[in-house]
Structure 1
Amino acid sequence: MNGPEIHLEFAPELRLFVPSERRQGRTPVITDGRSTLGHVIESIGVPLTEAGRIVVDGHPVGVSHIPGAGESVEVHAVERPQRVPGAPLRFLLDVHLGTLARRLRLLGVDAEYYSEDIGDPALAGCSARERRVMLSRDRGLLRRRELWAGAYVYSDQPDEQLRDVLSRFAPGLAPWTRCTACNGDLAPASKDSVRDRIEGGTERSHDVFAQCIACERVYWRGAHHHRLEAIVAEALREFSPVPRSADG
């Protein structure tokens, strides 16, 4: 680039994307005089999925703004909770986020996931076709123009990943209603109807079952139920709205 010089400042939440020499305060950036501000921001390393309000010399602008010489640009992080207009809130996760996908499903959140790497173009196409928010730690994937919507997952730890997504998007929670294996809906099932799908010990020690209407997987309160209950209880405690009483 060899054009107007502008000064950019990124919110603290976005500085992990930015080269170390640009992380403190406003730093000069030479533009080409033709590229949009969105292009400039991405060229520095910040996915536009993570950029919230953009302010130029005290006035809000869009990513299509073409910066001029001497402008001071502030790039804020996305406000939370982030509203995704135009469709029911649904997610798509890449191959590296399987645990997060299962935990979202455990909470009743619609979370599609491919256990094999189908490639960035296919994932972006699925996001656009099904209007799903793409969740990924891959910045290149989040820069694909065909994405319907996307979000960077900031942590590599499942507990923190779940908290990040729930705080950012505030999805409605309906625990124990979705298949953690395939994302299908669960329905109550009688012991007689699932007897051929469970072992004898399970049949003798359990009476309450659910079954996925898509893949027919059977669920019951097994050995890992207490651990799953703890995940659900923590999510509901922190992110599920508390109903107000009739007297306020």
Structure 2
Amino acid sequence: MNGPEIGISFASALRLFAAAPRREGRTTVVTDGVSTLGHVVESLGVPLTEVGRLLADGREVPVSYVPAAGDHVEVEPVTRPQSVPGAPLRFLLDVHLGTLARRLRLLGVDAAYESEDIGDPALAARSAAERRVMLSRDRGLLRRRELWAGAYVYSDQPDEQLRDVLGRFAPALEPWTRCTACNGRLREADREAVWEKLEHGTRRSYDVFAQCAECERPYWRGAHHARLEAIVRDAVTEFGAAQAAPHGRLAD
């Protein structure tokens, strides 16, 4: 670039995306005089999925604004909770976020997940086709123009990832209503309906079951129930629930 100089500063929550010299205070950027502010911000490493208000000399401007010489630009993070207009809130997670996908499903949140690396173009196309918010730690993926919506997952720890997503989007929680394997809806089932899918020990020990309406996987209060119950309890306590689910007994 060889044009107007602007000053730019990033909110603290966004500084991890920028190169080290731009993480503190205002720094100078030489623009080309025609690129939009959105393009300038992304060229400095910050995905627009993470950007809230853009202020030029204190006034809010759109991402399409072309900065002028001498502008002081402040880049703010998205406001939480973040609304996603125009569609029911649904998510799509990339191959690296399998644990987060299962925990969202455990809480009844619609969370599609790609268990194989199908590539960024295919993920972005699915996000657009199904109008799902793309969750990823891949900054390049989140910069793809085809995305319907996206969000960076800031932690690599599943507990913090879950709190991040729930705090950012405030989805309605309906625990124990989705299959953690395929994202399908659970329905109550009697033992005879799932008998052929059970091991002998399970047949002897349990008599209350649910089953996925799509993949037909059976669920019951198994050995991992206490751990799953703790995840649900903590999430509902902190973020609330759409309804008190009657299926708290279910875990495969």
TM-score of the alignment, normalized to the shorter chain, above 0.5: yes
The Cα of 1:204 is off from its aligned counterpart by: 1.4
Which residue number in structure 2 is paired with residue 151 of structure 1? 151
- Distance (whole Å) between structure 1 residues aligned to residue 242 and residue 89 of structure 2: 21
- Distance (whole Å) between structure 2 residues aligned to residue 128 and residue 234 of structure 1: 32
Is the partner of 1:8 in helix, strand or coil?
strand
Which residue number in structure 1 is paired with residue 8 of structure 2? 8
Unpaired segments ≥5 residues, structure 2: 244-252
Is the partner of 2:42 in helix, strand or coil?
helix
Is the partner of 2:230 in helix, strand or coil?
helix
Which residue number in structure 2 is paired with residue 28 of structure 1? 28
Query: Residues 185-232 of structure 1, C-alpha deviation per residue, up to 9 Å, x if partnerless?
Result: 000000111111101211111111000010000000000000000000
Q: Is the alpha carbon distance of 1:223 and 1:241 closer, same or farther for their aligned partners in structure 2, counting shifts above 3 Å? A: closer
Is the partner of 1:54 in helix, strand or coil?
strand
Q: Is the alpha carbon distance of 1:201 and 1:242 closer, same or farther for their aligned partners in structure 2, counting shifts above 3 Å? A: closer
Which residue number in structure 2 is paired with residue 59 of structure 1? 59
Alignment of 1:184-199 (within 5 A): 184-199=184-199
- Distance (whole Å) between structure 2 residues aligned to residue 57 and residue 242 of structure 1: 42
Alignment of 1:8-157 (within 5 A): 8-157=8-157
Which residue number in structure 2 is paired with residue 208 of structure 1? 208
- Distance (whole Å) between structure 2 residues aligned to residue 192 and residue 221 of structure 1: 17
Q: Is the alpha carbon distance of 1:208 and 1:242 closer, same or farther for their aligned partners in structure 2, counting shifts above 3 Å? A: closer
Query: Residues 96-142 of structure 1, C-alpha deviation per residue, up to 9 Å, x if partnerless?
Result: 00000000000000000011000000000000000000000000000
Is the partner of 1:49 in helix, strand or coil?
helix
- Distance (whole Å) between structure 2 residues aligned to residue 93 and residue 46 of structure 1: 20
The Cα of 1:23 is off from its aligned counterpart by: 0.8
Which residue number in structure 1 is paired with residue 250 of structure 2? none
Q: Which amino acid aligns with 1:94?
A: D
Q: Is the alpha carbon distance of 1:231 and 1:241 closer, same or farther for their aligned partners in structure 2, counting shifts above 3 Å? A: closer
- Distance (whole Å) between structure 2 residues aligned to residue 94 and residue 241 of structure 1: 25
Which residue number in structure 1 is paired with residue 183 of structure 2? 183
- Distance (whole Å) between structure 2 residues aligned to residue 124 and residue 218 of structure 1: 32
Which residue number in structure 1 is paired with residue 248 of structure 2? none
- Distance (whole Å) between structure 2 residues aligned to residue 36 and residue 74 of structure 1: 15
Is the partner of 1:28 in helix, strand or coil?
strand
Is the partner of 2:83 in helix, strand or coil?
coil
Is the partner of 2:177 in helix, strand or coil?
coil
Q: Which amino acid aligns with 1:138?
A: D
Q: Is the 8 A contact 2:142 2:152 kept in 1?
A: yes
Is the partner of 2:35 in helix, strand or coil?
coil
Q: Is the 8 A contact 2:174 2:242 kept in 1?
A: no
Query: Residues 78-104 of structure 1, C-alpha deviation per residue, up to 9 Å, x if partnerless?
Result: 000000000000000000000000000
| TM-score computed with the length of structure 2 as normaliser | 0.95
Identical positions, percent = 73
What is the root-mean-square deviation of aligned Cα atoms in Å? Answer: 1.0
Which residue number in structure 2 is paired with residue 246 of structure 1? none
The Cα of 1:242 is off from its aligned counterpart by: 9.7
The Cα of 1:241 is off from its aligned counterpart by: 6.0
Which residue number in structure 1 is paired with residue 249 of structure 2? none
Is the partner of 1:188 in helix, strand or coil?
strand
Q: Which amino acid aligns with 1:23?
A: R
Q: Which amino acid aligns with 1:67?
A: P
Alignment of 1:156-171 (within 5 A): 156-171=156-171
What is the number of residues matched between the two proteins? 243
